[in-house]
Amino acid sequence: MARKEKDYDMLDSVSKVKLTGSDYVIRGIGYVFITIFALASIFPFLIILGTSFETEENIISYGVTLIPRSFNTDAYDLVIKGGTIWASYGLTIAMTLVGTACGLFVCAMTGYALQRRDFPYRNAISFFIYFTSLFQAGLAPYYLLMTQTYHLNNNYLAVLLPLMMSSWLIILMKNFAKSVPHELTESGKIDGAGDFGIFLKIVMPMLKPGLATVGLFLALGYWNEWYQSSLFLQNKTVLPLQYRLYKIVNEAQSLKNSVASQYVDVNNLPSESLKMATAMMTTGPIIFLYPFVQRYFIGGMTVGAVKG
Amino acid sequence: MAVNERTLTPQGTKGAWKKQLWNSKTLIIMCIPAIIYFIAFSYAPLPGIYVAFVNYNYRKGIFASQFVGLKNFDFVAKSGKLWSLTKNTILFNLAFIVLDNFLAVTVAILLKEIQSKWFRKVSQTMMFLPYFISQVLVGLLVFSLLNSDTGFLNVVLKKLGAEPLRLYKTGDPWPIIIILVHLWQKTGYNSVVYFAAIMGIDSAIIEASMIDGANGWQKIKHIILPSLRPTIVILLLFALGGIVKGDFGLFWNLVGRNPILFQPVDIIEMYVYRATVSDFNFSTASAVGLYQSLIGFILVITVNTIVKKLEPDYSLF
């Protein structure tokens, strides 16, 4: 990638000499179009951010806003004083850490084993795992299994476990593991190391880009999770962050429950600014972190994630 | 080696088989957690598909409930619901596939035109943001922009002295809104693949074309687009394989809780979700789900067969 980028810059220096009229037109369109698209991509966030610092009266009279007319942090105070948001934070962080760590380890272990050319059962096991993405039972049988057979209704495991792995992530990891030279495994064998030892001590350190990419996909999945929660955690008091937001956005009662009644009249809540402040608080960490990790997601798309 | 031994004696075959198993025991054990996981969460629900063929009784459980054959399928098919769900799911996906890829290619080509590295990086990062947020927040963002009381669109319309648009009172504009929101959320992500492909074009080819006097548009038409063609074809084909799978999170968070809005744009996933979670009508939900799974399965197999013929390297299996 770095080399191509360099080639491309060299190309620029050539093109600077011989630009035709339509080159300038396309370049101009490029700057205008990309600027508009980029601004449109962040605009709704700026609206939420601006409105979260606005008073409820102003929101109702003037609508949402980029720049608050009377800057205040009442909505945030109310969310924070309610206290329960920290429990949600704790739950989401715990699930993200535990789920990502466990999922990552198993994905890496399986992905490494499945790309070993001297592993005779690799194709059979790969297909066994891959088949799960080709044909699914559907929501109703899955729901019945989780609630009637596993009895996971109102159990955080019902959210933690289903997000831990997917055939796609294992295949992605397998492709990353392929790029670790097979000679390392061979030399490990000669030194008398077992397959698991080779994986843990020799391959894992070489697998860092793959671990970062798969780990970040897993972590994003856990942080943004609301779907499994909406199926299985309906009666829990402490909810994962995004499902908490989902409830507050969609149910008036949840909005009332989210704040502490001793601080405010719950029948006269600043509901609009509260929603905005909750949205900012549940999404904030992602907005701050994603610019630093986005390259790993790009890696996930370009490492040949397609091939099984 | 195993082949040689097999030709020697039947006993040798048995020994080789055991030896092979013994030699790879550690690798097998390393795969076992994942195998158990997929058995527990992907294979274990499969027998439950039988619920689609019974009149589900909560107390009796799936397998003791009364068998009714294809009655559950008949029920959704005869009411016309199955057809309208299928039609909506496919039409939305077709729109997504065509527009997503068109816009992603456009953005990738225009990004290449951006000379300033800084400008390109910052705008790419900005366009990538919507990919990272939950569909719940997308629902709230859209509501904040479009609702008739406090929404941004109506704030602007009011300032211009125009009548407010009551978009949450009628289903008509929602197909367009859903498509636009989908494009908004996915384009930054989708364009990355095409941008990488453009960056991968041998710079000597473009250089040569400029020496031959090719202008900007000719470069795009005769060099960039043809070199993107394999990527476009493969991505389109795989998207077609998933054409009966809807983007549940997007639809549900935009319109899923408002019958006026969702009736005209109802997709298979929303119907199955409602039937399961709100109505506890597991038999109907499972019938529709099975119908979707089967079509999806056939489509993926078909697409993979085609891709295997065109570009064997890109086939899934």
Distance, CA of B285 to CA of B49 (rounded, Å): 10
The residue among A174, A196, A193 whose CA lies nearest residue A125 is A174
**Taking 60 as the threshold, does the pLDDT of residue B10 lie above it?**
no
The residues, any chain, with a CB within 8 Å of residue B28's CB and separated by 6 or more, are: A113, A121, B21
Per DSSP, helices labelled H in chain A are 2-15, 21-52, 56-62, 74-82, 84-115, 122-134, 139-144, 157-160, 167-178, 182-190, 195-197, 204-206, 208-223, 227-232, 241-250, 252-257, 271-302
**C-beta atoms of B289 and A141 within 8 A:** yes
- CB B239 within 8 Å of CB B93: yes
Taking only the tens place, the pLDDT of each residue in B280-314 is: 999 999 999 999 999 999 999 998 898 888 877 77
**Token pair belonging to B182:** 């989908």
- Residue pLDDT, tens place only, A202-234: 999 999 989 999 999 999 999 999 999 999 998
pLDDT at A1 over 60: no
CATH of the structural domain A78-302, one choice from 1.10.3720.10, 3.40.47.40, 3.90.76.10, 1.10.10.10? 1.10.3720.10
Q: Which of A30-39, A63-72, A255-264, B49-58 has the lowest mean pLDDT?
A: A255-264
What's the CA gap between A205 and A104, in Å, rounded?
14
The C-alpha atoms of residue A112 and residue B259 are separated, in whole angstroms, by 48
**pLDDT grade for B99, boundaries at 50, 70 and 90:** very high
Is residue A151 predicted with pLDDT exceeding 80?
yes
First-to-last C-alpha distance (Å) of chain A: 23
In the predicted structure, residue B71 carries a pLDDT above the cut 60: yes
The answer to whether the Cβ–Cβ distance between A31 and B297 falls below 8 Å is no
The rounded distance, in Å, linking the Cα atoms of B53 and A8 is 60
pLDDT tier, B13 (very low <50, low <70, confident <90, very high otherwise): low
Distance set, CA B27 to CA A231, B32, B33, B280 (Å)? 36, 9, 11, 43
**Domain B77-314, CATH homologous superfamily name and number:** MetI-like (1.10.3720.10)
Burial track B156-173 (b if 16+ CB lie within 10 A, e otherwise): eeeeeeeeebebbeebee
Q: How far apart are CA B81 and CA A294, in angstroms?
A: 41
How far does CA B214 lie from the centroid of its chain?
38
Mutate which of A116, A123, A171, A306 to disrupt the B interface (most B C-beta within 10 Å)? A306
The answer to whether A214 and A108 are in contact (CB under 8 A) is yes
Contact between A286 and B132 using a beta-carbon 8 Å cutoff: yes
Instruction: Tell me which of A19-28, B141-150, B182-191 is least confident.
Output: A19-28
B313: amino acid identity, one letter: D
Q: Quick count: other Cβ atoms within 10 Å of Cβ A235?
A: 7
Name which of B68, B158, B90 is nearest A61 in CA terms: B158
Cα distance between residue A225 and residue A227, in whole Å: 6
CB atoms within 10 A of CB B28: 17
Is residue A111 predicted with pLDDT exceeding 80? yes
pTM for the whole thing?
A: 0.90
Residue corresponding to tokens 């158990």:
B36
Q: How many Cα atoms within 13 Å fall on the side-chain side of residue B254?
A: 27
Higher-confidence residue: B235 or A240?
A240
Instruction: Check pLDDT > 50 for residue A17.
Output: no
What are the residue boundaries of the structural domains of chain B, listed by start?
A: 2-67, 77-314
Does A109 contact B30 at a Cβ distance shorter than 8 Å? yes
Closest CA to B153 of B86, B144, A70: B144
Our CA-based measurement puts residue B206 at a distance from the nearest CA of chain A, in whole angstroms, of 8
Determine the residue of chain A that is closest to B137 in CA distance. A279
Question: When comparing pLDDT for A19 and A307, which is higher?
Answer: A19
Determine the average pLDDT of the residues in B16-36: 92
Between residues B210 and A183, which one has the greater pLDDT? A183
In this complex, which of A65, A125, A136 lies closest to B31 when CB atoms are compared? A125
Q: How many contacts, defined by CB atoms under 8 Å, are there between A and B?
A: 308
**pLDDT class of A262 with cuts at 50, 70, 90:** low
Query: Is the confidence at residue A305, as pLDDT, over 50?
Result: no
On whether the CB atoms of residues A176 and A303 are closer than 8 A, the answer is yes
Q: What is the share, in percent, of chain A residues with pLDDT greater than 90?
A: 59
Which of A110, A148, A245 lies closest to B34 in CB terms?
A110
Q: Which of B134, B160, B210 is best to mutate for the A interface (most A CBs within 10 A)?
A: B134
Q: What Å distances lie between residue A130 and A116, A145, B59, CA to CA?
A: 17, 21, 35
pLDDT score at A302: 66
Q: What is the pLDDT of residue B6?
A: 43
Q: Which of A14-28, B147-161, B256-270 has the lowest mean pLDDT?
A: A14-28
- Of A76-90, A222-236, A248-262, B91-105, the poorest mean pLDDT is in A248-262
Q: Average model confidence (pLDDT) for chain B?
A: 89
